[in-house]
Structure 1
Amino acid sequence: ARATNETTERIISPQRLICYRETWYLDAWCHTRDGLRSFAVDGIREAHILDTAAKEITDRRLDEELAGGYGIFSGRAKAWAKLKFTAARARWVAAEEWHPKQRAHLEEDGSYILEIPYSDDRELIGDILRHGPEVKVLAPKELRARCKEQLAAAMKLYTR
C-alpha cells in the first residue's frame, strides 16, 4: 500500500478495470480480506493465474459497494457532506460533477450549496481544501473537524 510503503500478497478475483483521474484501478473480490476492493494497477508488482475459479460479482453489487460514495475510496455512502461555496467560486463548482447523486442549489446571496455522499473522507478533504477560503464544510461536524485539523497542520508549516 502506498500509504504504508508495505507490500502485501492478495488472492483476488478480478472484476473490472476503472480509469479514475488518469489512473487505472482493478475492482476485485479480495479473498484475503473477504470483500470487494479497488487496487491501483500501477501498484501491482506481480500477478499469477491460479487454478481456482474466480468469484463473479454482478455489476450492480460492484456499483453498490464500490461506487456509492465519493472518490476512489468510495464504498457504500456512510454520510453526506454539505459544503457552502462562496458566490465567487459558485460558477466553477456548479459546472462540476463531484458525484452522480449530488444535490445542489444556489442561495439568494449567490453562494452554492453542494451535498455529496461519501464513506471515506481522505480524497474528499483534499478536494475541499483545494478551494481554500472559498468553501466551508457545514456538515457533518466530523468532516468539518477533519478539515480544520488538516488546515491547522498546513498552517504549522508556514509558521515555523
Structure 2
Amino acid sequence: MARNEQLIRQHKILQILERLRFGATLEELRDSVVEELGLTSLHPRSIRRDLEALTAAGLPISDEETQRGRIWKLSRSDKGLQKIAITASELIALSMGRDLMLPLVGTQFWIGIESFWNKVGDQLPEAVWEHYERYRRTLYVLGLPTKTYEKHQGILKTVNRAIQEHRHLEMTYQVPGRAASVRTIEPYGVVLFQSSIYVVSTEESRDGVGSERIRHWKLDRFTSAKALDSWFKPNQQIDIQSHLGQSVGIFSGANSKQYVIRLSAQAARWVQEDPWHAEQEIVEEADGKVLLKVTAYHDTEIIQRVLRLGSEAEILTPESCRQEIAATVQELTTRYASPPQL
C-alpha cells in the first residue's frame, strides 16, 4: 500500500469518526471506508493499524467495550481536538500565511483557514491581540492577484471527493479561444501555483506510461465536474511531488528538458535573488557572465522568463526555444518599426 493511500484512508477514518457521536466498530469503519473510497476490499486489521497510527500521532481516539462490541471514538471538547498556546510572533506568522492564501477565498480550504483563525482569536489574551494589531500595521503582503475561487467552490468539492475516493472525474473544460470539451480524468491532487489552482491527473485517452500521462488542468477553465460511479487504481509509479519538482512552472509534459541561458552579471544577481527553480545551476564565466541551467516541461515557461530580462539574457539550448524567441523578436521589431495606429 502506497503511503499516500494510507494517509487518504486515515484521513477518511478521521472524517467518519468526527461525524459519529457514539463511535464505530472496526467492521463498521471498514465498511464505511470501503464505500466512501470506492475500494474493492479492506481487512479490519488495516483499520486497526490506521487507528493505532492516528493514536500514536497524538489524536484523541479511544476504544471501549459496549453492547455493540468494541467501538472506537474521537474525543470531543468545546475547544476542539487540542488546546493550542500561541505567541504574538506566531500569530503574526500565521496571519501572513493567511494573507498568502487569499486566492482560496470561497473554497472549503478557506473556510477551514477562517474557522481556525477565528478560534485562535477567541482564545487569545487581549494584550497579545493588541500587540499583534500594532505590529501588523507595519507589515503588509502585496502582489497577490485579486481573484478568488468562490464560484468554483462546488466544482472543487467534487474534485476533492474524486481524489479521495479514486473516482473518475468527468469535466467540461473551456480553454480560452477554443470550444469546450468533455474529458474524463483520473485526479491525483490539486496544486496552488502562483495564486491559481490546478488539478493534477492522468487521462485515459493520453498515451504513455507512468508520469508521461500526467496533465495539469487549470480550475478556472472548469465549467462543470462530476464524480462518476467508476473507480481507478492509482498508478504506483506516479510520484506527484517528484513530478512537480522537475519544472520551473506548472506546464505538464512527457519528459522535462534542460535549458541553458546565458545571463549578464546583473541578471544573474536577479535570478539568484528570485530563483527560477530550487535545483537551478549557475556556472560563472570568465567575462563575468553566467550560465543558468534549469529544467522545464515546456518552452513557454522559459521563454516568458527570458523575455522579461530583455537583452540581459540569451537562450543557448534547446534550439527550438532559441528559434521561437528569435521569431518573437523579429515580429516585435516589425511591429515597433513604425508609429502606432491610433
With the shorter chain as reference, the TM-score category is 0.7 to 0.9
8 Å CA contact 1:36–1:66 kept in 2: the answer is: no
Structure 1 distance, partners of 2:252, 2:227, is 28
Does the alignment pair 1:23 with 2:201? Answer: no
Match of 2:185 in 1: 12
Match of 1:131 in 2: 309
Offset at 1:59?
8.3
SS of the residue 2:181 aligns to: coil
Name the amino acid aligned to 1:11: T
Match of 2:323 in 1: 145
- 1:59-87 Cα deviation digits (max 9, x unpaired): 85334555423321143544311111111
Q: 1:45 to 1:3 in 2, by over 3 A?
A: closer
Structure 2 distance, partners of 1:9, 1:157, is 38
Structure 2 distance, partners of 1:8, 1:87, is 47
Name the amino acid aligned to 1:26: V
Q: TM-score, normalised by structure 2?
A: 0.43
Q: Higher Cα Rg: structure 1 or 2?
A: 2
8 Å CA contact 1:94–1:112 kept in 2: the answer is: no
Structure 1 distance, partners of 2:267, 2:296, is 22
Q: TM-score, normalised by structure 1?
A: 0.85
The correspondence for 1:70, drawn from 248, 252, 260, is 248
SS of the residue 1:52 aligns to: strand
Name the amino acid aligned to 2:313: V
Name the amino acid aligned to 2:270: W
Offset at 1:58?
4.6
Structure 2 distance, partners of 1:66, 1:13, is 17
Offset at 1:119?
2.8
- 1:81-104 Cα deviation digits (max 9, x unpaired): 111111122211122221233211
Offset at 1:109?
3.0
Structure 2 distance, partners of 1:42, 1:55, is 27
Match of 1:159 in 2: 337
Offset at 1:156?
2.3
Match of 1:79 in 2: 257
SS of the residue 2:182 aligns to: coil
Structure 1 distance, partners of 2:224, 2:234, is 22
Total equivalences in the alignment:
160
Q: In structure 2, list runs of 5 or more residues that go unmatched.
A: 1-173, 208-212
Q: 1:71 to 1:59 in 2, by over 3 A?
A: farther
Name the amino acid aligned to 1:98: W
Structure 2 distance, partners of 1:54, 1:61, is 16
Name the amino acid aligned to 2:203: C
Larger mean CA deviation between 63-72 and 101-110 belongs to 63-72
8 Å CA contact 1:69–1:77 kept in 2: the answer is: no
Structure 1 distance, partners of 2:288, 2:257, is 26
Structure 1 distance, partners of 2:248, 2:308, is 16
Structure 2 distance, partners of 1:99, 1:55, is 32
Offset at 1:128?
0.9
| Structure with the largest fraction of strand | 1
Share of identical aligned residues, percent?
26
Structure 2 distance, partners of 1:113, 1:62, is 29
Alignment of 1:97-112 (within 5 A): 97-112=275-290
| Structure with the largest fraction of helix | 2
**How well do the aligned residues superpose, as a CA RMSD in angstroms?**
2.3
Offset at 1:144?
1.2
Structure 1 distance, partners of 2:306, 2:238, is 29
Structure 2 distance, partners of 1:77, 1:103, is 19
Structure 1 distance, partners of 2:175, 2:240, is 23
Name the amino acid aligned to 1:68: Q
Q: 1:36 to 1:55 in 2, by over 3 A?
A: farther
